Structure 1
Amino acid sequence: MSTPDLLLDRRPDGERPLPPTEERLEASAELDAKSSLEVLRLLNAEDRVAVEAVDAVLPQLAGLVDLTAGRFRRGGTVHYFGAGTSGRLGVLDAAELLPTFNLEPGRVVGHIAGGAAALVNAVEDAEDSDAEGRAAAADLGPDDVAIGLAASGNTPYVGGALAVARAAGAHTALVSSNPHADLAHLADTVIVLETGAEVLTGSTRLKAATAEKLVLNGFSTALMVAVGRTWSNLMVSVVATNDKLRHRTVRILADATGLQPAAARQLLASADGELKTAIVAAVGGIEIDEARRLIAEHGGSVRDALAEASR
């Protein structure tokens, strides 16, 4: 079997190079001739490229987290904009923050081209709608942050959203796997993930999406840490909405304070189930009402509340 021509480095019109995600990966040229194990090993090897790509952009990502944290403390919101896999990843990341960090609805929002229907079905031409992107970003303001997610860096929906967001004074960012992204000029922060060609040519649901997911996980988790939604490495903001999470809050309180489970359960009940209040009361050696006041005064930060309690 002959090796297919791999010199597909330009668009059909010949005007500029294709995004790296649309190029062909030489290592997977005989993909359909490989065994299942060989295919999986190749995919796994290329996934490591995604991890390395994220490592390379951590300084830029940290800068975006710090900038966002300042706006977030002032009441600003974060908005992800994407189409297809990118849009789904943004919606997923935003949705998972609510129960994990007791995040109020509307503080981090995922927008996907084509709306809710596009989460489970492909919505034809949705990603090409600049107007839909503009409409999705219409309510953003100066304290907000708009993050465009586009592996190719060229998605019109994302471009429309970033253009409107930037005009409104929001900080704009673009996460892309294309160092020559057309949308880069619309972003105040550009994060380029050097993931290269995909095992399956053009299938950015593979390592480009893996890198994007890692960026989103890192960004949102670091943001929640920065704004006081954790204490040490504990999920002290978790919402106990079922038995599993109710047991988890007791374990977290026990870990944080050294209390036995029965005593932790009793203290948590005395604090009306407010985990942060219970921790500050126990560690700070103060009454429940005083702990609750300190938590409120310090924007929900257990560390800052405890610092004042120790003065």
Structure 2
Amino acid sequence: MQDDGLLTFDILSNSLGKTLDLEKHDARENLPRASVTFTSYMTFSQMSSYLEGLPAQYPQRIRVDKPGRSFENRNIYRVRMTNNITNTVQKKVVFVDGGIHARELVSPAAALYVIETLIANTKLTETIEWQIMPMLNPDGYEYALNKDPLWRKNRSKSPSSTCYGVDLNRNFGFQWGGLGASSSPCSDIYKGTSAFSEPESRALRDAMLPLKGKVKAYITFHSFGQTILYPWGYSTQVKHPLTATMDTAAKAMAAQIKKTTLAVYSVGNSAVVYYPVAGASDDWAAYAMDIAHSYTIELRDKGVYGFKLPASQILPTVRDAWEAVKTLATLV
């Protein structure tokens, strides 16, 4: 703020650089193959080993495929889970993804925790086929984990700039290029050269489109802010016709989280609670897939640590995620 011509400010951290450096290399280097952990941030290689090992351990319940590859040619995985994976014709689908923004390290951890918890919860896989893409932005994630902890975008190279990356959550083909998206390749919210210009957003699109009519709920995990958001995100002036339905379900998820983990999550329309976001995955899912329940869940925390959530907070945070997903599954 301004006072008598002078700028005043508050110091939020005296050692942000030191904190980021300390957190940069906290991934567990010696994690056994095909294992998962929620006490440190896993590398993409560790995640890949875990995901690729699942079908052999649970051949009747789990299939893993690769709907796409990233700009730097890393696999983008999809895990399909249900009690009888060979017979899914009559089952509704709940679709979950994570890791669309590189620096939101707890997001893919949350999706992995959903997978791991569903393995032990056969009741929730009786009538639902779960499809989970835990890491949509593997290039950006590895870059954030090892080089720049505040990196947000993917790692594609712009043909017209020396800057790298597209904000994948501005690259989906509904209201692409509208409010809250930038045309500058150097911007953190750069929309890309066209809708679905990026292989990572196309991977999600191509995994979901054949399921139109079957997907009853979509959740994308982000961080931070402890908020459950629903469409439309592209405008503060246009309401989704199922706003009341989504608001009721979001409040039920928030209530269950508070009941079990004591964490407080707010609820609301994403454009109103935060700011307009055009070309986002939750808006696209609600529109293109005609999904009645489409949510962005901003996980912990509320800003003390922000994007660099300490490893000690991974497990409490992913438990929030599970409570939300579990609750939604009973409502769709």
TM range (shorter): 0.3 to 0.5
- TM-score w.r.t. structure 2 length? 0.33
- TM-score w.r.t. structure 1 length? 0.35
Q: In proportion to residue count, which structure has more helix?
A: 1
